[in-house]
Each structure stands twice: as C-alpha cells, then as structure tokens.
C-alpha cells in the first residue's frame, strides 16, 4: 500500500521513462540506465546548461521554453539509446528513406540527423494536435456565434478533449504500458530520495506514483494557461480569422510555456492546501501516464538516481 508523501526536502532531480529504462537528470550529471538482455547498461554524462553560456536564457519566463526544448532533445536522444538494445526483429528491409539516409549521410552524422528529425516531428505533431486542430475545429462554430468568449471556451474544451483522448489511447498500448510502469518507478524513487530514506526497493515501493512536478502535469497546465491567455488576448483581435488566431497562438507559445514553468516551480516548492488544490488536475492526469512498477523497474530507477545525486549535499535542493 502506498504511503502519503512526507518530504524531508524537495529535489530538482527529475527524470523520464525510456524503453526498459530510466533517464535521470541531476544538477551536474544525467544518467541513463537500461535493463538489457545482458543486464543493466548505464550511460552517465555531464550536464552543460545553455543558460551558463547565455545567462539571459536563465531568466524567469524565458527559461521555461529553453528547459522544455532541451528536455525534448535530451529525451529523444535517451529514447534512441534505449531502443538500440531492443531492435525490432520483425522489421524487414529498410524503407526507401532509411536507404537514402544511409547512402547520403555519413554514419557519424546520421544519429544527429535522426535526432533532429525526431524532435521536429514531435514538436510538429504537438502543434498539430493541440494548436492547429483545436483552432480549426473551434472555427467551425463561428458562423453560429458572436462571442469571442464562447469561441475560446469551445477551443479550450477541444484542447482538453484531444489531450485526454491522446493519453487514453496511448496508455492502452502494450509496450507503452511498460514505459509508464518505468514512469511510476521514477516518481517513487524521487519520492523515496526526497523523504530521506535509504534508496532500496522496499522503501521506494511504498511511495506514491503521482508526482506534482511531472511532465504530464506540466503539459496539462500549458493547455490551461493557453486557454486563459487566449481569453485575455483574442478579445481584441479578429478572433474569427483562423490565421490570426493561429499566428497569435504561436507568438504566445513562449510566454505560455514560460508562465507554466514558473507556476510548476512555485507549486513544486510548497506543500499546502492551495498548492495541492492547484496541482490536483495534473496529478489526476497521471493516472493515465503512470503504472505500478515491478521490483526490477524500481532497481533501474534507483541505480539511475544514485548516479546523479550531487557530491555536494543540498546542491539539488529545489
């Protein structure tokens, strides 16, 4: 049975579930641990924050988009690393695109190209599902209404419905269910560390699997903030124009992500009735993106955590 979270402190360490593995990010290092057929495979890298070279990118609001984009790129790299240990034996001959890439792109640059393409496709799909499609669908009711507020509400409902449908459909995929089990293992291990308990499977197993600083909660809050921003801004423009609305959505993307990031930092730094209320919807969404892990998954998460805990005590304090 899970016990209620009791934190000794809150850590900045976070992670991501992979294919049979975990990515953990600490203040100095990030670690990938994958359970392959031969045993645990680890990869540890020093973290180089772009804000250290360009301090302006670490400013509030601006840093949200920087952190998000960096996390996407690192996440794609980690997923490709974990996927290399589980090749699909059912695949036949490479398709024409794969053959063209192998013939025209040097091997040492091929992975960079694949990562770039994967990131672009991921961001493009996100924009299509949660920006372009809701804007288009909400525009279908414009001939029947004369209110920007109604349009904004309909568009917001469509965004949330698409988000929910996406989570439900993805969570029912067999392979994804195991990834979501590793997601649960990541949360439980972070809670165990924050509680000041020894990092053991027994201690991690009883921790909650829903974490207030989860990426699922972040994405949900992005949608809510975008709805509020639309309600505030689109009243003063030609809200019936699809292209005007789409253009403003793109312009608002950086401040929306930035405000959401700062909101999550604020909520994550405090534990009281108000912050629990504000984080409740995002926590509920994690019912679809986290599953109870087995002991082997917890072992992977614990190993990844140990590899990124800073030598200087308290350096990872939130």
Q: What are phi and psi of 210, to 5 degrees?
A: -100, 120
Average pLDDT over residues 15-20: 94
In percent, the amount of the chain with pLDDT more than 70 equals: 90
Average pLDDT over residues 289-304: 96
Average pLDDT over residues 25-39: 93
pLDDT of the residue at 45: 94
In percent, the amount of the chain with pLDDT more than 90 equals: 43
CA 52 from centroid of its chain's CA atoms: 23
pLDDT of the residue at 193: 96
DSSP string, 79-136: HHHHHTTS--TT--S--HHHHHHHHHS-HHHHHHHHHHHHHHHHHHHHHIIIIIHHHH
pLDDT bin (cut points 50, 70, 90) of residue 90 is: very low
Q: Is the pLDDT of residue 97 over 90?
A: no
When the pLDDT of each residue in the chain is averaged and rounded to a whole number, the result is 87
- Considering 42-46, 99-103, 242-246, 248-252, the range whose residues carry the highest mean pLDDT is 42-46
Q: Is the pLDDT of residue 50 over 50?
A: yes
Average pLDDT over residues 145-171: 89
Per the rule left: phi > 0, alpha: psi between -120 and 50, beta: everything else, 87 is beta
pLDDT bin (cut points 50, 70, 90) of residue 282 is: confident
The residues near 3 (Cβ < 8 Å, ≥ 6 apart) are 206, 207, 208
Q: Could you give the CA distance from residue 246 to residue 128 in angstroms, rounded to a whole number?
A: 11
Compute the Cα dihedral for 211, 271, 217, 25 and give only its sign.
negative
Q: Could you give the CA distance from residue 210 to residue 5 in angstroms, rounded to a whole number?
A: 10
Q: Is the pLDDT of residue 257 over 60?
A: yes
pLDDT of the residue at 293: 97
C-alpha distances out from residue 263 to 191, 258, 292, Å? 20, 9, 28
Q: Is the pLDDT of residue 144 over 70?
A: yes
Minimum mean pLDDT among 60-74, 92-106, 168-182: which range? 92-106
Q: Is the pLDDT of residue 255 over 50?
A: yes
Gyration radius from the chain CA atoms = 21
Q: Is the pLDDT of residue 209 over 60?
A: yes
The residues near 75 (Cβ < 8 Å, ≥ 6 apart) are 16, 23
Residue with tokens 């804007």: 135
pLDDT bin (cut points 50, 70, 90) of residue 4 is: low
The residues near 79 (Cβ < 8 Å, ≥ 6 apart) are 18, 19
What pTM, to 2 d.p., does this model score?
Answer: 0.86
Closest CA to 214 of 300, 314, 295, 287: 287
């Amino acid at each position: 049975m899970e016990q209620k979270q009791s934190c000794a402190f809150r850590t900045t360490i976070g992670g991501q579930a992979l294919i049979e593995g975990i990515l953990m990010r600490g203040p100095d290092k990030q670690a990938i641990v994958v359970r392959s057929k031969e045993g645990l495979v680890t990869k540890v890298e020093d973290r180089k924050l772009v804000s250290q070279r360009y301090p302006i990118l670490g400013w509030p609001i601006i840093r949200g988009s920087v952190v998000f984009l960096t996390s996407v790129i690192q996440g794609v790299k980690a997923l490709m690393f974990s996927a290399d240990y589980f090749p699909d034996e059912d695949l036949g001959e490479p398709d024409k695109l794969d053959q063209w890439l192998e013939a025209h792109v040097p091997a040492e640059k091929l992975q960079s190209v694949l990562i770039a393409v994967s990131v672009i496709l991921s961001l493009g799909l996100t924009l299509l599902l949660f920006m372009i499609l809701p804007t288009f669908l909400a525009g279908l009711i414009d001939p029947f209404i004369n209110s920007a507020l109604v349009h904004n509400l309909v568009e917001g409902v469509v965004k949330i419905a698409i988000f929910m449908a996406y989570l439900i459909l993805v969570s029912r995929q067999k392979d994804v269910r195991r990834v979501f089990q590793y997601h649960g293992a990541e949360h439980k291990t972070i809670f165990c560390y924050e509680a000041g308990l020894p990092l053991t499977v027994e201690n991690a197993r009883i921790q909650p699997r829903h974490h207030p600083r989860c990426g699922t909660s972040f994405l949900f809050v992005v949608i809510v903030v975008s709805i509020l921003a639309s309600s505030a801004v689109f009243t003063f423009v030609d809200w019936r124009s699809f292209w005007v609305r789409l253009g403003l959505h793109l312009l608002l993307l950086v401040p929306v992500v930035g405000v959401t990031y700062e909101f999550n930092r604020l909520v994550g730094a405090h534990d009281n009735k108000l912050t629990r209320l504000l984080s409740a919807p995002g926590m509920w969404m994690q019912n679809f993106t986290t599953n109870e892990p087995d002991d082997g998954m917890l072992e992977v998460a614990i190993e990844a955590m140990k590899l990124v805990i800073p030598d200087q005590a308290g350096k990872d304090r939130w």
